[in-house]
Copies of this chain bind each other. A is one copy, B any other.
Amino acid sequence: MSSSEDEITEWFARKSRLSASDFPIGVGDDMAQIQLGKEGSVLVTTDMLLDGVHFDLRTATLKQVGYKAMAVSLSDCAAMATVPVAAVVSVALPEGFGEEELKQLHSGITLAGDKFGCWLVGGDITSWKDKKPFAISVAMLSKPAGNEPVRRSGAKVGDNICVTGSLGGAGRGKHLEFEPRVEEAMEIAQIVTINAMIDISDGLSSDLSRICRQSKVGAIINAEQIPISDAGRKSDEPLSSALNDGEDFELLFTLSEREAESLVKQWDPGLIPITQIGTIIDTKKMQIKMPDGEINDLEARGYDHLKN
């Protein structure tokens, strides 16, 4: 059987010989953290988006694609509760793409970046020699927001599991125009101590499994508490859509029960809702409590680029 993205990433992480003092966060989180002397550190992430996979240029505009490419990396900055700073963007253009296409793309890149003070500082333009498909890769830098960046590995047994917004059916449109939860992440991190966080890019089940694997814990979630989006409810299987559809780009995080209570009390009701969906447990496996009370094992069934 072929390896999953997570298995390969774990192999890369084992192979890396990063010193913890120079690289407080290495391979396998939403961003890596690089210490630059005593005074400061910077975080970095990268995302590649492909025509026909992450968007379809027959229906999406290049402005939407530029927006999405930046928003995906901005969502990684949010997942660490860090402040986006700057991005570089490289593109592979099909034959025939030129100035006009690059300017449309640029308008989407800056639309997303300007919202969060994250500036385009450089890039690389390459072209296929024929009609091969468009690809775009963003690398984004962020800096800590005062607190330590929030990792995937800090979930503790007994933690509440929370999500922002609602889940499912992002492929029906949200995936091109979602709002990265950068400000919400800052706000949450200011109010409470978050133990672990990730953004839901491949699907709740898969991204929760990453928190569980990296924190060496299990989780039980309550199906009735999962906030299913309108788009998810339109699917044939709304619960499965909320669990396994990718590209929600909501925040999934864990914090102690006491902190969760505090967050709920202090959370501005005008902001995007936060929902408690389950609890971190010590089984090292994931479970889901169904509406009829039955408890089933929950498998990571989100998107995997090496398996889908």
How far apart are the CA atoms of A305 and B93 in the complex, in Å?
A: 9
- Given contacts A86-B34, A102-B8, whether A119 and B16 have CB atoms under 8 Å apart is yes
Indicate if the CB atoms of A91 and B27 lie closer than 8 Å: no
Is the CB–CB distance between A122 and B88 below 8 Å? no
CA distance A98 to B7 in the complex (A): 11
Segment with Cβ contacts to B, from A124-132, A207-215, A273-281, A284-292: A124-132
Kindly state the separation between the CA atoms of A75 and B259 in the bound complex, as whole angstroms: 48
| A44-B121 contact in complex given A98-B2, A141-B34, C-beta closer than 8 Å | yes
Give the CA-CA distance A160 to B189 in the complex, in Å. 54
73-130 of chain A: CB within 8 A of chain B? 85-86, 88-93, 98-99, 102-103, 106, 110, 119-129
Q: What's the least CB distance linking A6 to chain B, in Å?
A: 10
Instruction: Find out whether the CB atom of A54 lies under 8 angstroms from the CB atom of B126.
Output: yes
A271 interfacial contact with B, CB 8 Å:
no
Given A127-B305, A143-B36, A48 and B137 contact (CB-CB distance below 8 Å): yes
Which B residues are in CB contact (< 8 Å) with A52? Answer: 128-129, 132
A195: interface (CB < 8 Å):
no
* Alpha-carbon separation in the docked complex, A53 to B129 (Å): 7
A163 beta carbon closer than 8 Å to chain B:
no
* A5 adjacent to chain B (CB < 8 Å): yes
A103-B11, A132-B133 given; A121·B26 CB < 8 A: yes
On chain B, the residues within 8 Å of A45 by CB distance are: 88, 122
Q: Is the CB of A53 within 8 A of B88?
A: no
A139 adjacent to chain B (CB < 8 Å)? yes
CB contacts under 8 Å to B, within A282-308, are 305-306, 308
Which of B2, B38, B122 is within 8 Å of A31, CB to CB? B122
When C-beta atoms are compared, the residue in chain B nearest to A13 turns out to be B122
Known: A11-B103, A36-B42, A98-B2. A92 touches B135 (CB 8 A): yes
Q: Which residues of A contact B (CB under 8 A)?
A: 2-3, 5, 7-9, 11-12, 15-18, 23, 26-29, 31-32, 34, 36-40, 42, 44-50, 52-54, 85-86, 88-93, 98-99, 102-103, 106, 110, 119-129, 132-133, 135, 137, 139, 141, 143, 305-306, 308
Extra A-B contacts (15), CB below 8 Å, given A2-B98, A32-B88, A48-B135? A12-B106, A17-B119, A27-B121, A28-B122, A32-B86, A32-B121, A34-B42, A34-B85, A34-B86, A39-B39, A46-B139, A48-B126, A49-B126, A53-B127, A137-B139
The 5 closest A-B pairs by CB, nearest first: A139-B139, A39-B39, A32-B121, A137-B137, A48-B90
